[in-house]
Amino acid sequence: IAAQATLAFYAGLSMQFVCQSTLRDVRNACYEKIITLPMTFFGQRRVGELTSRIAADVNQIETTIDTTLPQMARQFIFLVGGITMIAVTSLKLTGIILVTVPVLMSVAIFFGRKMRACARATQDQLASGHTIVEETLQAITSVKAFTNELWEKARYADSNQKTHAFALHAARWRAISSAFFVIALLGTLTMVLWFGVSLMQHGQMTPGALTRFVLYTVFVTGAMGQAAEAFNQIQKTLGSTQRLRELLREESEPSDSTSAPARLHGDVSFDGVCFTYPTRKVEVLHSLELNVRAGECIALVGPSGAGKSTLTALLMRLYEPSYGNIQFDGMDAGSLPLKWLRRQIGIVPQECILFGGTIRQNIAYGRSDATPQEIQLAAQQANADEFIQAFPNGYDTLVGDRGVQLSGGQRQRIAIARAILKNPVILILDEATNSLDSHSEQQIQVALDRLMQGRTTFIIAHRLATIRHVDRIVVLAQGSIVEMGTHDALFANTEGIYRQLCRLQFQASPQDD
């Protein structure tokens, strides 16, 4: 009893160790894969689906490792042992049992396939439900502002109902499978009994041997039933985790293997660059030719959808051009190590979404080895130090989920401090469209001017009044460069698009002119 108890203790513990270690490794592998996948992948998937894969799909493995695999091993030993004992008792009767094995296996495979497909459909539907939760929670203010709670509730309930239906469909196949195995195994037992009794009547078998035989057969058929159940569970897990395995087979972005110069100088050129988003088969940039000198400040202007953001996304190599190439200091972008290249580029986005840690962590996001002094210096240069110091916890203030506890202007200055700390050679500024009060705007402009000094800068400009002094303005329209030059030169062209854009903005907000 003591030995049995000790074994049970270590068996349970070691199975859990294997199980939890596997879950940990699979989760890590999935996350590592997801985070290194190219942007093309994220264009096709939704965040909720991916989080569901990591959370719900991975958990499906738990029961299989913890319960099913040991059960299968146990039943396999029973099966081999039982059949050996039966064979020793009566070869004729063993034949009856062995004939049933291939039949049972074929049927188990058939049911297994059905359950695998159902389990995959259930997990897919579950992931759709997760997507609804994720998206509505991310945009909870809009949900409330549009009083769409009831509609969202119905949408989620509908999705859950579908998951419920798929799960029940799988359960139906499982129940049919169980019923079939009850008939098949008890049928085998009955046949063995019937045949054994007739052997006994003809004196070919003793009552003792028949009793022994029936006892072993009960063992074997029981083991077969359990093995079939375990097989079904494994099929279900394989179905549930199919998308995970597909995910792990996706191709990641290339890792940096080639050597690169210490730092870029800052020359950038677009050489006949065309681009089509993989998810939408329409070319959005057409044969772009643009040469930018190191330290030059370029403003990208143009109507909405002209391709300004796409151009900067190509610069960061979030996507690869469909034709043509981009060169940095005369070197083809594709030949440069990807992560190294991205470290040379800083971005201050239009919507500054922060991570839910402290202000200090957020500023140091691009350079985790920065000292507290460097962080404070960056914040001072970004005109952020003053408001940060005014918080009771200073640099250790928590910014809340995605930075919601800070104002738009404060978030933007944190993003500027982050870029200053990163000290990039090339800078991308996506100008905020929302107007700030003139004091904050002036503080941000001063911070941006400091940040831009000595760096090749691309400004995605929405308000033309802010870009009069840049070196060159590039006007994009429908994916092509239609005008290029200084503000004065472009404004002088009364027929030009830039002039028209200025006129439209002037009419909309005369104070900008």
* Contact positions vs ligand ATP (CB under 6 A): 43, 277, 279-280, 284, 302, 304-310
Closer by beta carbon to ligand ATP, 277 or else 340? 277
CB of 80 to ligand ATP, least distance (A): 57
Closer by beta carbon to ligand ATP, 267 or else 483? 483
CB of 111 to ligand ATP, least distance (A): 42
Question: d(Cα 410, Cα 352) in Å, to the nearest integer?
Answer: 9
With b for 16 or more beta-carbon neighbours within 10 A and e for fewer, the 86-123 pattern comes to beebbeebbebbeebeeebeeebeebbebbbbbbbbbb
CB of 39 to ligand ATP, least distance (A): 7
Q: What Cα–Cα distance (Å) separates residue 272 from each residue in 122, 147, 434? A: 47, 48, 34
Pairing of strands 323-328, 297-301: unpaired
Closer by beta carbon to ligand ATP, 324 or else 357? 324
CA 416 to chain centre: 27
- Longest Cα–Cα distance of the chain, Å, equals 117
Place of tokens 């290029």: 484
CB of 141 to ligand ATP, least distance (A): 21
CB of 473 to ligand ATP, least distance (A): 14
Pick the closest to residue 54 from 40, 37, 39, 33 (CA basis).
Answer: 33
Closer by beta carbon to ligand ATP, 61 or else 474? 474
Closer by beta carbon to ligand ATP, 72 or else 490? 490
Question: d(Cα 298, Cα 261) in Å, to the nearest integer?
Answer: 25
Closer by beta carbon to ligand ATP, 302 or else 346? 302
DSSP state of 356: S
Question: d(Cα 206, Cα 332) in Å, to the nearest integer?
Answer: 88
DSSP state of 478: T
Question: d(Cα 483, Cα 275) in Å, to the nearest integer?
Answer: 19
Pairing of strands 472-477, 268-276: unpaired
Half-sphere exposure at residue 382, Cβ-oriented, CA atoms within 13 angstroms: 27
Closer by beta carbon to ligand ATP, 147 or else 433? 433
Closer by beta carbon to ligand ATP, 433 or else 438? 433
CB of 477 to ligand ATP, least distance (A): 9
Closer by beta carbon to ligand ATP, 250 or else 283? 283
Q: For 138-155, what is the HEC assignment? A: HCHHHHHHCCCHHHHHHH
Pick the closest to residue 372 from 350, 394, 392 (CA basis).
Answer: 394
Pick the closest to residue 455 from 257, 297, 312 (CA basis).
Answer: 297
Closer by beta carbon to ligand ATP, 37 or else 284? 284
Closer by beta carbon to ligand ATP, 257 or else 304? 304
Q: Give the DSSP letter string of 433-475.
A: -SPPPHHHHHHHHHHHHHHHTTSEEEEE-SSGGGGTTSSEEEE
CB of 421 to ligand ATP, least distance (A): 26
List, in sequence order, the alpha helices (H) in 364-436.
Answer: 372-381, 385-390, 408-422
CB of 355 to ligand ATP, least distance (A): 22
CB of 488 to ligand ATP, least distance (A): 24
Backbone angles phi, psi at 356, to 5 degrees: -70, 30
CB of 351 to ligand ATP, least distance (A): 11
Question: d(Cα 409, Cα 28) in Å, to the nearest integer?
Answer: 36
Closer by beta carbon to ligand ATP, 278 or else 337? 278
What interhelical angle do 69-89 and 91-138 show, nearest 10? 170
Question: d(Cα 438, Cα 444) in Å, to the nearest integer?
Answer: 10
CB of 354 to ligand ATP, least distance (A): 21
Pick the closest to residue 244 from 68, 27, 69, 66 (CA basis).
Answer: 27
CB of 428 to ligand ATP, least distance (A): 12
